[in-house]
Amino acid sequence: MANVTIKILAKELGLSTAAISKALHDSHEISESTKQRVLALAKELNYIPNPYASSLRHRKSNTIAVVLPDVTDSFFSEAINGIESIAIEKDFHVLLYLTHERAQREETILKEFKSGRVDGIIMSISSETTNFDCIHDTFSKNMPIVFFDRICEQIDTAKIITNDFESGYLATRHLIEQGCKKITFLSNSDSLLITKNRKEGALKACLENAIEESFLHVKLDCYANEFDSEKIEQLLTSEQKPDGIVCCIEKFTPNVYIVCRKLGLSIPKDIKVLSFSNLNTAIILNPSLTTITQPAFEMGKAAATILIKSIEKKSFILKDETITLPSTLFIRDSTTN
């Protein structure tokens, strides 16, 4: 954009660019009368400081990066709303980066941040990420990182999570209370901590009821839809056919419903279905979907609050703390006869 620059102001007033800059920053080296002249002209010409020049001076870009797997998932889009609500209040800009669940893409994105484009990062790791060297490398170079939901345990920083173990336990106990004896846990990862915790919680409920031998963990790739459907159909026509399913992410739900319909299986009569989900259509599905709903907006808000506070303090010291915001079980028709 052809903006009014310090150079133009200097030329107009017959002063050096350094003098203009000092006057604009109210330096004691510049006389009051000169300051008045500079400010008057700056106002008249509608001078706006260049943010990149300003970033160079202050080593602060007022920009944070949000790195997450998928913007079409209702949990993540709500979390973005939470992050943005704080960013706008604190006058920060939000760069959005999507990993699409690919570890390689995540690494490429992180490397970009070494150049100082952003003041900090809010991150939820991909379902593929098992090597944390690149995250560690970025963090160790004094780049503040706050994790939410899919955290990286190995990095000593702030982490915003929900009560995944307890949620997995409550979800599964609910299915058992509704008569289920063969529970399958559908996830998109073997390695994510949230998946492990939810699964451990589910297993605890199965152990308490002595049905742990029929417990199954099936991993789907949520980006290969047809393949997912096939895998679900194989499961539901096998000897291991469950009578209760816990979907670890909401993207699996349409396929589970569609395959059940195709096979003539009634939800909830033949099979009960529960999903971790923030979908606002859960209540009008056929049948309405029992969900574990995460506090997505609040988790995004908490992550942004902590990150921006650390940036504004210029200390870049993020406490190694874990903040847990609880999820809620909403019981609907997909699990109750």
b/e for 277-308, b at 16 or more Cβ within 10 A?
Answer: bbbeebeebebbbbbbbbbbbbbbbbbbbbbb
Choices 32-40, 88-96, 156-164, 176-184 (CB under 8 A): range interacting with its own copies: 88-96
Q: Specify the residue, 80 or 176, whose C-beta has the smaller distance to its own copies.
A: 80
Distance separating alpha carbons of residues 278 and 282, to the nearest angstrom: 8
> What are the Cα distances from residue 29, in Å, to 19, 204, 257, 283?
9, 70, 73, 66
Question: CB of 113: closest distance to its own copies in angstroms?
Answer: 8
If binding means CB under 8 A, how many residues of this protein chain bind its own copies? 52
Q: Specify the residue, 212 or 333, whose C-beta has the smaller distance to its own copies.
A: 333
- How many other C-beta atoms are found inside a 10 Å radius of the C-beta of residue 84? 17
Choices 107-115, 166-174, 181-189, 226-234 (CB under 8 A): range interacting with its own copies: 107-115
Residue 3 engages its own copies in binding (rule: CB under 8 A): yes
Question: CB of 55: closest distance to its own copies in angstroms?
Answer: 4
Calculate the CA dihedral of residues 66, 251, 209, 264 and round it to 10 degrees. 180
Residue 326 engages its own copies in binding (rule: CB under 8 A): no
Q: Specify the residue, 92 or 215, whose C-beta has the smaller distance to its own copies.
A: 92
Contact pick of 94, 134, 216, 218 for its own copies (by CB under 8 A): 94
**Tokens describing residue 7:** 């150079």
**Tokens describing residue 36:** 């008045």
Distance separating alpha carbons of residues 201 and 219, to the nearest angstrom: 17
Distance separating alpha carbons of residues 42 and 157, to the nearest angstrom: 43
Contact of 225 with 238, CB cutoff 8 Å: no
Residue 266 engages its own copies in binding (rule: CB under 8 A): no
Contact of 58 with 49, CB cutoff 8 Å: no
Residue 236 engages its own copies in binding (rule: CB under 8 A): no
Residue 183 engages its own copies in binding (rule: CB under 8 A): no
- How many other C-beta atoms are found inside a 10 Å radius of the C-beta of residue 213? 7
**Tokens describing residue 180:** 């289920």
Task: Examine residue 287 and say whether the peptide bond preceding it is cis (omega within 30 degrees of 0).
Answer: yes
Residue 331 engages its own copies in binding (rule: CB under 8 A): no
Contact pick of 11, 36, 116, 317 for its own copies (by CB under 8 A): 116
Give the β-pairing of 120-123 and 159-161: unpaired
Contact pick of 40, 283, 317, 331 for its own copies (by CB under 8 A): 283
Q: Specify the residue, 44 or 208, whose C-beta has the smaller distance to its own copies.
A: 44
Residue with tokens 């963090």: 139
Contact pick of 228, 257, 271, 304 for its own copies (by CB under 8 A): 257
User: Site residues for its own copies, window 134-153 (CB under 8 A)?
Assistant: 141-143
Q: Map residue 3 onto helix, strand or coil.
A: coil
Contact pick of 13, 24, 45, 95 for its own copies (by CB under 8 A): 95
Residue with tokens 């506090």: 295
Binding mask 44-63 for its own copies (x = CB under 8 A): ----xxxxxx-xx----x-x
Choices 6-14, 70-78, 216-224, 232-240 (CB under 8 A): range interacting with its own copies: 70-78
Binding mask 294-323 for its own copies (x = CB under 8 A): ------------------------------
Give me the residues that bind its own copies (CB under 8 A), please. Answer: 1-3, 48-53, 55-56, 61, 63, 66, 71-72, 74, 77-78, 80-81, 84, 88, 93-98, 105, 112, 114-117, 141-143, 251, 253-254, 257-258, 279-281, 283-288
